[in-house]
Amino acid sequence: MKTILYIIALSLPPFFTNAQQQPPADTMKVKQLKDVVVTARTPQVERKADRIVYNVQNSILASGSTVWETLRRAPGVQTNDNGQVTANNKSMTIYIDGKPVQMTGENLSAYLSGLPADNISRIEVMPVPPARYDAQGGGIINIITKKSGKQGFNGTASAAYTQATLPAYMASTTFNYRQDKLNIYGNYGYSDRSVRRLIDGYTIYETPASYADWRNNRIINPQTNTHSYQLGADYNINHNQVLGVRMTGFNSGRSTSARIGTTVYNDYRSVADSLLLTGNRAKGATDNFSFNLNYKLNLDSAGTSMNIDVDYVPYKNTAEQYVNTTTHLPDGKYNNNFAILTPSSQRINIWSGKIDLTYKAFKKWNMESGVKYNSISSDNSFLYYDVLSKPTFDAERSNQFRYTENTAAAYTSINSTLGKWSLQAGLRTEYTRTTGNSITLDSINKKNYLRLFPTLFVNYKLSDDHSFGLNYSSRIERPGYMQLNPARVYNSPYSYQQGNPALQPAVFTSGELSYTYKQQYTFSAGFNQMKGLMSNVTVQDNTSKTFYDTQQNLDVIREYSLQVMANVNPTSWWQVTATLWGAYRKQHSMFIDGYFASGNFVADFSTTHAFDISKKWGLKAELNARYQSPVYQGVLHVAHTSDVSIGISKSVLNKQGTIRLAFADIFYDNPYQLDIAYQRQRNGMHIKNDTRNVALSFSYKFGKNITPVRKRQTASEEERRRAN
């Protein structure tokens, strides 16, 4: 804690510094100065009207790591081992280059863990996205990949080795070819990663007639090999027309071995009554592609333009899990009482199309309007075989689940600058139809709903040093496909995970007032309301001693927050970014057969220090630290976490190459603890991942004359997320 307090003190330099004292006039001499070249360094974190930008390409710590590891270093962003991503405790939709990643849960973390951070330019955190974005999710985190924009053929290449408990290897490259009217670009990344995960858990089963304490420890070793790539081309038909195509892909093979030991203590005895040993082996593969066709037409010289996108996104995930459990008794006897094989598959097809029109109204107002339609179909198969004696298919525990979703959307936004005032307002409407069909259970759930989602941004610039802002938005979060799937995925004979087909969409409403001083300090106060937030809940049966994890809509969570963000240069060689967010969180909700209410304070602090040690030798260093306070989500209590990481880099090969050495989570305080103590529910776990590691990386740039590549967003930019 002393380390964190010291870093906070360093991160908040005074507003004003004394000007350097000038020598007496009679000692000053007039000299002819040489030409001076002034270069501006992009801040690692930038605060803009509707987003916070984390410039990953400037980060020493990001090099050699994965996108998943880099996410948690963005200001206010939290991640957990279940694949959940939040920003200041509000759920976020993950985008890559303006296209949502259609994954949630562990598949999302596995996907982003396979992408090298060396291919990333920046991460944009948008708590209040503009109206042209889909209303899905509490907010948006847009991950922008590097795009080389130089004439001819050029690009970058990098490689990294990371050592934690187990090693990891990564390599990546980007390239660009530009000649006349044609531009071809792409990137490729490979990752070979092994992780050691340690989990200690407990469950207290108590009834009026009995008491049992189940203690378990798990050693989980996931291994993944991933290939990620992108290939695109733009052709300028003439000055007013551009035709583009783009394909992105992700292929991953994975295998996981886990050993789980559960010690059972009955009736408060200190000697164990039995020991359950469970082995869990799983393997699988994921193939995710996206194909985009884009056409842009400039209609006049006043800025009127039309953009058309058509997308097709196929996704396939296959898995096979084998679980066996033996029970060992104090007298040395044991029996094998559980052995299952569960093959599963998921296939998703997404078709999207959108048309956007940009134009002017009444000469002063910039307008943007658009329509969009997307169709999503998901087919999930889960088969259950009892293999204790011989393979036997169990139809009652198997499941076939099909899900379709069709959404039609239209939006309009307007913005202008009127003197010292800047205004941006938008309205998006979405009509959604969904059908969830559990063929095995002969159960169909249909939902049809129409929703309006307003957004508003107002800024008043009093002077160059003082500006005020206001924003407001309403958004929705729909359940992930597997969150709705009622299939049971077993960890042991006594525990499993199960989706909830009765889940409803959650609605988010938020607003913020802000004040910015000298574009360096921002102070803001906000309000956030979450109705129907989807949360993991655990359910334990104290009589049968079974335990399962599912999803439930919480009633209402309200947060009243304050935030301070500083971006300053105490010296010419020291750049500091610090963000401190705090809130009072009040919530109430039904929980199983009871009612839960709480109110508590939560906080998140992060800071980054960038040092130019020696320009002559090309030496730079970076220190990053963060602290997250304990928080309640429903009855789930998450303990505090903290992280301190450092790195150093050196330019080589005439500044075209860079060598980086980074140490992550030095004090190993990033593991977290989850606990539930409510009515008859008493359970929890302590999770330790391989967050403490050392990474050595090398990157090389080649190319010359810079020319920007065209940036665009595609029709499926709001769809590729919710697969699991």
Out of 185-189, 593-597, 702-706, 707-711, least confident range: 707-711
412 or 153, which is more confident: 412
Task: Give me the pLDDT at residue 41, please.
Answer: 59
Task: Give me the pLDDT at residue 146, please.
Answer: 78
Task: Give me the pLDDT at residue 92, please.
Answer: 87
Q: pLDDT (tens digit, 9 = 90+) per residue, 238-261?
A: 989 999 999 999 899 999 999 999
Q: pLDDT (tens digit, 9 = 90+) per residue, 148-182?
A: 556 688 888 889 999 999 999 999 888 889 888 89
Answer whether residue 373 is part of any domain: yes
CATH number of the domain encompassing residue 303:
2.40.170.20
614 or 117, which is more confident: 614
Out of 191-195, 473-477, 594-598, least confident range: 594-598
pLDDT above 90: residue 420: yes
Residue among 189, 186, 178 at smallest CA distance from 230:
186
Task: Give me the pLDDT at residue 150, please.
Answer: 63
Q: pLDDT (tens digit, 9 = 90+) per residue, 312-329?
A: 999 999 999 999 999 999
Q: How far is CA 468 from CA 417, 462, 557, in A?
A: 14, 8, 27
pLDDT above 90: residue 619: yes
Answer whether residue 308 is part of any domain: yes
* 47: number of Cβ within 10 Å: 21
Q: pLDDT (tens digit, 9 = 90+) per residue, 20-73?
A: 344 444 444 444 444 444 444 567 778 777 788 888 887 887 776 778 888 888
C-alpha–C-alpha distance, residues 6 and 345, integer Å: 50
Residue among 469, 447, 567, 540 at smallest CA distance from 202:
540
Task: Give me the pLDDT at residue 516, please.
Answer: 94
144 or 3, which is more confident: 144
* Across 478-484, average pLDDT: 85
C-alpha–C-alpha distance, residues 140 and 128, integer Å: 8
Answer whether residue 33 is part of any domain: no
The residue type of 45 is: V
Confidence of residue 7 (pLDDT cuts 50, 70, 90): very low
Task: Give me the pLDDT at residue 718, please.
Answer: 46
Q: pLDDT (tens digit, 9 = 90+) per residue, 183-202?
A: 999 889 899 989 899 999 99
Q: pLDDT (tens digit, 9 = 90+) per residue, 501-522?
A: 889 999 999 999 999 999 889 9
Answer whether residue 101 is part of any domain: yes
Answer whether residue 31 is part of any domain: no
* Across 660-667, average pLDDT: 93
Answer whether residue 309 is part of any domain: yes
Confidence of residue 302 (pLDDT cuts 50, 70, 90): confident
Q: Name the percent of the chain lying above pLDDT 70.
A: 90
Answer whether residue 723 is part of any domain: no
Q: What is the CA 17 to chain-centroid distance, rounded?
A: 38
Confidence of residue 630 (pLDDT cuts 50, 70, 90): very high
pLDDT above 60: residue 10: no
C-alpha–C-alpha distance, residues 65 and 694, integer Å: 10
Task: Give me the pLDDT at residue 12, please.
Answer: 44
Confidence of residue 492 (pLDDT cuts 50, 70, 90): confident
Task: Give me the pLDDT at residue 574, please.
Answer: 93
Task: Give me the pLDDT at residue 625, please.
Answer: 94
pLDDT above 70: residue 81: no
Number of domains in the chain: 1
C-alpha–C-alpha distance, residues 388 and 341, integer Å: 10
Residue among 165, 172, 59 at smallest CA distance from 648:
59
C-alpha–C-alpha distance, residues 530 and 635, integer Å: 16
Answer whether residue 351 is part of any domain: yes
Q: Which domain holds residue 158?
A: 2-8+41-718
- Tokens 């989990």, located at residue: 199
Task: Give me the pLDDT at residue 2, please.
Answer: 43
* Across 672-680, average pLDDT: 87
Written as six digits, the tokens of 47 are 């605060």
Task: Give me the pLDDT at residue 57, please.
Answer: 81
Output the average pLDDT for the chain: 86
